[in-house]
């Protein structure tokens, strides 16, 4: 705790009358509860020889941490949690969030195709629905991490996926699985 002792009027007058005398170093200060409460302020005693009452003791609690206070952002749009989190890392995480959402959207389109009444491949539909949910969960986890680190999530527009997956040579099931394999490779790059 920092206490700055201002000289009492008597000590200031004595120092002014003897300019060549060295200034006394401030003694450690002990704050004592006064026996009779003065109308304003608190009386303090020095822990030195004379034990005289000091006046003008100023409590300055933030003097010790002035250097650390400069590290705290002062504007409301800056995050207090953002420490050693470079902009390139934030941008890469935002890019991966958008990749995950695009993959989720494409898987969801595959789910909708294979769940149709005229295609009716329920096992494929279930697989693609679960894959869509998993990719969305990945994006949400990355968003939570970005917010925890003090970054800002910047979502981009999602690319419109295909809605028809029937291929004349490969068929719709093989073509859908090939697209799913490409989506897995896209997400891992």
- Going along the chain from its start, the domains and CATH numbers come out as 3-69 (no CATH), 87-188 (1.20.1260.10)
Is the alpha carbon torsion for 47, 53, 59, 60 positive or negative?
negative
User: Global pTM?
Assistant: 0.57
- Integer Cα distance of 127 and 135 in angstroms: 12
The pLDDT tens digits of the residues spanning 110-168 come to: 999 989 888 888 999 999 999 999 999 999 999 999 999 999 999 999 988 877 777 77
CA distance 121 to 168: 18
Confirm whether residue 100 is marked as ligand binding: yes
Q: How far apart are CA 97 and CA 155, in angstroms?
A: 8
Of 153, 156, 163, the closest CA to residue 114 belongs to 163
Does the annotation place 138 within a ligand binding site?
yes
119 vs 163: CA distance, rounded Å: 13
Q: Is 63 annotated as a binding residue?
A: no
């Amino acid at each position: 705790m920092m206490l700055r002792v201002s000289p009492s009027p008597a000590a200031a007058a004595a120092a002014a009358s003897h300019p060549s005398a060295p200034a006394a170093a401030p003694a450690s200060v002990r704050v004592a509860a006064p026996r009779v409460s003065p109308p304003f302020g608190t009386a303090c005693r020095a822990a030195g020889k004379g034990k005289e009452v000091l006046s003008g003791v100023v409590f300055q609690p933030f003097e010790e941490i002035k250097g650390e206070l400069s590290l705290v952002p002062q504007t409301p749009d800056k995050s207090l949690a953002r420490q050693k989190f470079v902009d390139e890392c934030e941008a890469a995480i935002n890019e991966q969030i958008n990749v995950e959402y695009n993959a989720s959207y494409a898987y969801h389109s595959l789910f909708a195709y294979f769940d149709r009444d005229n295609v009716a491949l329920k096992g494929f539909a279930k697989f693609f629905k679960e894959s869509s949910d998993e990719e969305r969960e990945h994006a949400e986890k990355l968003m939570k991490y970005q917010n925890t680190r003090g970054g800002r999530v910047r979502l981009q527009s999602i690319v419109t996926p295909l809605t028809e997956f029937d291929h004349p040579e490969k068929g719709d099931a093989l073509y859908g699985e090939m697209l799913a394999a490409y989506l897995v490779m896209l997400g891992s790059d």
